[in-house]
Structure 1
Amino acid sequence: MTALAYLVLLATAVRAGLGLVAGPGPDDRRRVPVATVTALVVVGVPTLLQLTVVPALLGQLGRDRAAIGDGQVWRLVTSLVVQDGGVAGSVFNLAALAVVGVVAERVWGARRWAVVALASGVLAQLWGLVVQPVGAGNSVAVFGLAASVAAVALRSGDRVSRLFGAASLLVGVALLVAGDIHGGAAVVGAAVAAALLALDRRSRR
């Protein structure tokens, strides 16, 4: 059931985002999604090493409440580049990063994409210390990006995009209430999106 909620949140966010970026011009089609490609490399290389020749990386870099409490705060960041879901979970996380990442980068641009992804990824780890003290994976950054796109669609998309955006955000809230780390990531992503949109409104005044 949780896996289905994950798929619904991501799929509805992507659909909402596609409604926002429909009808790209020639320049948009040729533009390389730099932030997404960079993230895939930064996450993919350590993940591949962890799954093949250096399995100890998960224990050394993953989220661990006891280790973080002992001062290894860097795990709040490094836990994003290793995976706790084995081969299947790693493939899903990287595929989701590619699909959601490209759509989110079309919506936000590379710099704001990085802000949303890092804020969601790192702050969700704090929620994870409460609900899932040990773990790892880039999925929290993906869920934050997805929710940020849904938040933009809810504010400025067409009717269909708003419906999909609302559905995505409702699933995120449900996951948060259920004590799922991905719900925390989604809420952070939506909050960062709201802050960025507010900054845009102020700058236009």
Structure 2
Amino acid sequence: MTLHTVILYGCAAAVVLPGVRIVQADADGRRVSPAALLRVLWRRPVPWTAAAMVAVMTAMAVVQTAAPSVVDHLQREPGAPWWRAVTALLVQTSGWVQLAFNSAALIAIAPVAQRVLGPVRMPLVFLASGVAAQAVSMAGWSPTGGGDSVAVCGLIGALSISHARHPGPGPTRLLLIPAAGLVLCVLGNNHGVGVLAGFVLGAVLAACGRPGYRPLPPPKTSVDANPPAQRPT
């Protein structure tokens, strides 16, 4: 394993691990099973914008699986028109591993991002971060490919600003996210562009007064108003 690969894996860990803590913080810091965590993240009020994004990406996964030639028409590639920087977010060019990982990441991050950033700002951050990363790639970093992981990284970058003042993930640990983004940019990896673009957009939203981190309220529990009377002993 080369030093370059080691640094890439280290940067991935510096983004993913704090990202996991951000998701857990939205579940009031509880460490629960993945199924229970998903029930917490997606319970009412349902984040419909996030649900729509997941639905679109799931539909595109089905389309590219049924008709693989779609990928060639939507991915970024040398000499492609500018709009491929947008459509490249819709296809996963590295097969089932990329499909599974990116889908899982979006399902976990999108509802958290909507509750923190808002139903309008969240998809805008996703799109702006992803397009910026795809555009840089088309300019020469990695001319061929596609995937929405760069946009998910943008959401994580934006959330690192909102969660920095919350004791859950820890401010110091969250600083690893933009630091890793910077290192990835130095290495010419487009995920770094996504992280830094999201971080900057999150900072702009915070400066404009967008409310920061608001933990999801705990689920309501039903209480029996008329508990059975205890039998005399």
Deviations 1:120-157 (A, max 9, x none): 11111122122111110011110000111112223x32
The question of 1:33 aligning with 2:47 is answered yes
TM-superposed deviation, 1:4? 5.2
The question of 1:119 aligning with 2:125 is answered no
TM-superposed deviation, 1:21? 7.0
TM-superposed deviation, 1:20? 6.6
- The aligned residue for residue 12 of structure 2 is 6
Deviations 1:178-202 (A, max 9, x none): 110000100100011111111117x
Superposed, 1:158-173 pairs within 5 Å as 158=167, 160-173=169-182
Task: Check whether the contact 2:78–2:143 (CA below 8 A) recurs between aligned residues.
Answer: yes
Question: Following the alignment from structure 2 to structure 1, what is the Cα–Cα distance between the partners of residues 134 and 146?
Answer: 9
Deviations 1:18-55 (A, max 9, x none): 447738xx9x941112122111111121222212x210
**Residue type of the alignment partner of 2:17:** A
**Residue type of the alignment partner of 2:206:** L
- The aligned residue for residue 37 of structure 2 is none
Question: Following the alignment from structure 1 to structure 2, what is the Cα–Cα distance between the partners of residues 61 and 117?
Answer: 18
The question of 1:78 aligning with 2:87 is answered yes
TM-superposed deviation, 1:97? 0.7
Question: Following the alignment from structure 2 to structure 1, what is the Cα–Cα distance between the partners of residues 76 and 52?
Answer: 22
- The aligned residue for residue 195 of structure 2 is 186
Question: Following the alignment from structure 1 to structure 2, what is the Cα–Cα distance between the partners of residues 86 and 149?
Answer: 28
Question: Following the alignment from structure 1 to structure 2, what is the Cα–Cα distance between the partners of residues 165 and 57?
Answer: 37
Normalised to the residue count of structure 2, the TM-score between the two structures is 0.75
Q: Which runs of 5+ in 1 are unaligned?
A: none
Task: Check whether the contact 2:132–2:197 (CA below 8 A) recurs between aligned residues.
Answer: yes
- Runs of 4+ in structure 1 deviating by more than 4 angstroms, as ranges, are none
- The aligned residue for residue 62 of structure 1 is 75
3-state SS, counterpart of residue 79 of structure 2: helix
The structure where helix makes up a greater share of residues is 1
Question: Following the alignment from structure 2 to structure 1, what is the Cα–Cα distance between the partners of residues 124 and 201?
Answer: 8
Q: Which runs of 5+ in 2 are unaligned?
A: 1-5, 30-39, 211-233
- The aligned residue for residue 138 of structure 1 is 148
3-state SS, counterpart of residue 63 of structure 1: coil
CA RMSD of aligned residues (A): 2.2
Task: Check whether the contact 1:16–1:165 (CA below 8 A) recurs between aligned residues.
Answer: no
TM-superposed deviation, 1:174? 1.4
Question: Following the alignment from structure 1 to structure 2, what is the Cα–Cα distance between the partners of residues 11 and 160?
Answer: 10
Greater relative contact order (Cα < 8 A, sep 6+): 1
Q: Percent identity?
A: 31
Superposed, 1:96-115 pairs within 5 Å as 96-115=105-124
Task: Check whether the contact 2:163–2:169 (CA below 8 A) recurs between aligned residues.
Answer: no
Report how many aligned residue pairs link the two structures: 192
